[in-house]
Structure 1
Amino acid sequence: MDAALEFDTSHIRLQDRPLIVCDVDDVVLHFFAPFLTFLDGEGHEFLPRSFRLTGNIVSKLNGTALEEKDVHRLIDTFFEAQERWQTPFDRVVDTLGDFSRDADIVFLTAMPPQFWAQRRRLLDRLGLAYPLLASLQPKGPIVRSLHAERALPVAFVDDMAHNLHSVSEHVPDCLLINLKPDSIVHRMAPSAPAGISEANEWSQAAPLLRAHIIR
């Protein structure tokens, strides 16, 4: 079954104006840097050997790599406590606030849905009170479901190549921006497909969005 049919976006009410769909972790909120600090407090560390968490998170006590189930447990524990750990990227609050005058903004976060409430509270506290979708499903069908067949500009901002590729397949006219921090894990990440705009911070992404959204 098409993932767009499995994930309900009908509760998101868009106005008759452009749409910006934006990832959250390491795009709006810092994820990897605070996660490393969290791991240290749990007695673990990340070894930058490849673009994977499983196999590269090891015990500081004996150097043993954690099993996949234990890595997932740590990530879940981090998301449970995200309100104490995650902070916004520079200029993201003001930048999205400026765009919200001309476009609808929807957050689409690749996070287990059971942590939606914690993320909602954190974003609201930071002044980022835009609609939030939390799903581990492919993002392309979700963005297609959101935008539907509207003849209006749409843009998608994410730090991961596979999410950008998914949206490119399902929403061909979408502006894609690969916005990612200069972290040890992102340096090992797969490159985004050719032709996708790249940015390391919101001051670089904003002009790209402005040129596409405001025509």
Structure 2
Amino acid sequence: MKTGSNDILDISHVVVTDRPLVVCDVDDVVLHFTDPFREFLLSQNHEFLPRSFDLIGNIVASDTRLEVDTAGVYRLIGAFFEAQESWQLPIEEVVQTLEALSVDADVVFLTAMPPLYSQQRRRLLDRLGLTFPLIASVEPKGPIMRQLNGERILPTTFIDDMAHNLHSVRQHMPDSLLIHMMPDSPLHLMAPKPQDDIVRARDWRHAEELIRAHWRPL
């Protein structure tokens, strides 16, 4: 999710080895986002109305019912990311599944948020036992995935809830396994759909099955 901030990409802290690579989005893939954000808005005397797939134009003041302008929406998103440690919880079975996958693969988080809030996210993930490397960026994910993988010729997997991120990785890493994972929220039900051959995982256990099947030729 973009918030209008300039992003400076730095992945020097991430080291990948000679194992398969699993790259995961964070919001609504690893951590619940949509429901906590709606609860956060209520605490700020605002509401989200799921009228279309966009936060801008769909957040209103609780008392006046007037739409919040673009700058106001970005401020609310930033305030939520600032306070995320008090609001966001892990998706069911994600901790156990990623721990199991990390025995055989390198796991990296690629979160679509400004690096300004990466320390808060790092602390939250660490507290939950999700200590895998984190990249925070609002840039397209395909080039980042390509840069991260380098010249390695090993199985790669990318998991995201947004079609445009999956399509970006396909463009730059066509041999990657692409997994669509999203909650059944009113917002996501209005989201653009990924291309038909991109598989949707029902949950993290299903995602693990898909990933390990992708590794089998090894």
Question: TM-score with structure 1 length normalisation?
Answer: 0.95
Distance 1:48 1:8 in 2: 35
Q: Return the offset for 1:163.
A: 0.3
Kept after mapping to 2: 8 A contact 1:156/1:175: yes
- Read off the aligned partner of 1:160 and give its amino acid letter: M
The aligned residue for residue 78 of structure 2 is 76
From 157, 160, 171, the counterpart of 1:158: 160
The aligned residue for residue 135 of structure 1 is 137
From 94, 98, 101, the counterpart of 1:99: 101
1:120 counterpart SS class: helix
- Read off the aligned partner of 1:124 and give its amino acid letter: D
Q: Return the offset for 1:210.
A: 1.2
CA deviations over 1:98-140 (Å, ceiling 9, x no partner): 0000000000000110101000001001010000000000000
2:186 counterpart SS class: coil
**Alignment of 1:15 onto 2:17:** yes
- Read off the aligned partner of 1:80 and give its amino acid letter: E
Kept after mapping to 2: 8 A contact 1:103/1:213: no
Distance 1:11 1:114 in 2: 16
- Read off the aligned partner of 2:196 and give its amino acid letter: A
CA deviations over 1:49-86 (Å, ceiling 9, x no partner): 10000100011111100001000000000000000000
The aligned residue for residue 3 of structure 1 is none
From 29, 33, 41, the counterpart of 1:31: 33
Distance 1:8 1:86 in 2: 25
The aligned residue for residue 171 of structure 2 is 169
Kept after mapping to 2: 8 A contact 1:181/1:200: no
User: Which structure 1 residue ranges, 4+ long, deviate > 3 Å from structure 2?
Assistant: none
From 204, 207, 215, the counterpart of 2:206: 204
The aligned residue for residue 48 of structure 1 is 50
Q: Which runs of 5+ in 2 are unaligned?
A: 1-7
**Alignment of 1:190 onto 2:196:** no
Question: TM-score with structure 2 length normalisation?
Answer: 0.94
User: Which sits farther off after the overlay, 202-211 or 20-29?
Assistant: 202-211
Q: Return the offset for 1:88.
A: 0.1
- Read off the aligned partner of 2:161 and give its amino acid letter: D
Kept after mapping to 2: 8 A contact 1:108/1:134: yes
- Read off the aligned partner of 1:84 and give its amino acid letter: S
- Once superposed, what is the RMSD of the aligned Cα atoms? 1.0
Distance 1:138 1:7 in 2: 11
The aligned residue for residue 5 of structure 2 is none
Kept after mapping to 2: 8 A contact 1:22/1:156: yes
